[in-house]
Amino acid sequence: MKRTFKSLLAAAGLAFIGLGSLLTATPAMAYTPKAPCVKYPSTPTASWPGNGHFFICTGIANDPLALISYTQANSVPANLKTKFNAQGTDVFVFQNVSNYNAYPDFEADVPASGAPVKGYSRSTQGAKHPGAVVAIFSIPSGNNFMARVTNHELGHGMDFATGNEGTTNGSVWSNRLAQDFADFDAPATGKPNFPGFTFVCNLFSTNTQRLLCMQQNNNPFKRDEMFAEEFATLMPKGAIFGEAGAVIGNYFRQLGALTPSRPRSRDRIVDLINQP
């Protein structure tokens, strides 16, 4: 889940501060980590993130949970790898929120907080780490959960790298999402099967309310979180909330269950990934 930081408060829900210059700048030199972070792999690969953009910060050599995150990051489409590499996007895996908050190059930020906190991503860390950051906290809740959390946070990173459509009102993606919600709630759609949805979420009166209850834990609707989850449905292992991800994958794509068929919000994410 993305957390809002002091330098970004004025832009919450809109474009993130400094991203335009970040996207057009010459790629930064490779980042040199500070303890406890170590670069992985020790022998760099040819492509992102193995070319110096992945860091294990748990204090555990070749931490198995961190390697799950590496596998997910290494699974993003080639076009997105190119975008992440050009932007200088770094992926960090920390043991917990406290370790993240204590990391010296992030210390100027408002601490991440909240429960449960699964991960965090943002567009820039300032002078000490000028590139984009995707940070994940190593939560021992099973390999699939760690993979799905990584997918979601990479979705925020993908949003940063491709123009902030997930946080910009009136973007192509946000307009399509609004139409998706309208069609999803249309009487002709009916109530889809929501396997595994909680009793509380199924009490809501519309399909969209039920979906957001499950996908966003009853929080006020956050468009950028939906963007990240839609991205996650395109990745191996899928979205954080598997049942919500299945509904998104089945309905919010052009060839899915919604009628009439039209370009959908999830299709826009595919388009953004494939743009040169």
Each domain of the chain, given as residue ranges in start order, spans: 6-163, 166-274
Rounded to two decimals, what is the model's pTM?
0.85
**Predicted pLDDT of residue 181:** 96
Q: What is the mean pLDDT of residues 37-43?
A: 93
Q: Which residue has the higher pLDDT, 8 or 237?
A: 237
Q: Residue 211: which of 246, 179, 238, 167 has the closest Cα?
A: 246
DSSP alpha helix (H) spans, 185-252: 199-202, 207-215, 223-232, 242-251
Q: Which residues contact 269 (CB under 8 A, 6 or more apart)?
A: 158, 173, 227, 230, 231, 234
When mean pLDDT is compared across 22-26, 182-186, 196-200, the lowest value belongs to 22-26
- What's the average model confidence in pLDDT over 55-67? 93
Element (H, E) at 133: strand 133-137
Closest to 50 (Cα-Cα) out of 75, 23, 19 = 75
pLDDT of residue 95: 87
Mean pLDDT over 76-92 rounds to 93
Predicted confidence at residue 130, as pLDDT, reads 74
Q: How many helices (H) and strands (E) does the chain have?
A: 11, 5
Q: Band the pLDDT of 23: cuts 50, 70, 90.
A: very low
Predicted confidence at residue 184, as pLDDT, reads 95
CA-atom Rg of the chain in angstroms: 18
d(CA 9, CA 14): 10
At residue 22 the predicted structure's pLDDT band, cuts being 50, 70 and 90, is: very low
Helix runs in 137-205, H state only:
143-161, 172-184, 199-202
Look over the chain and give the mean of its residue pLDDT values, rounded to a whole number.
81
H or E element, residue 194: none
8 A C-beta contact, residue 151 and residue 238: yes
Q: What tokens appear for 217 in the block?
A: 């834990």
Say how far apart CA 93 and CA 85 lie, in whole Å: 18
| Secondary structure class of 128 (helix, strand, coil) | coil
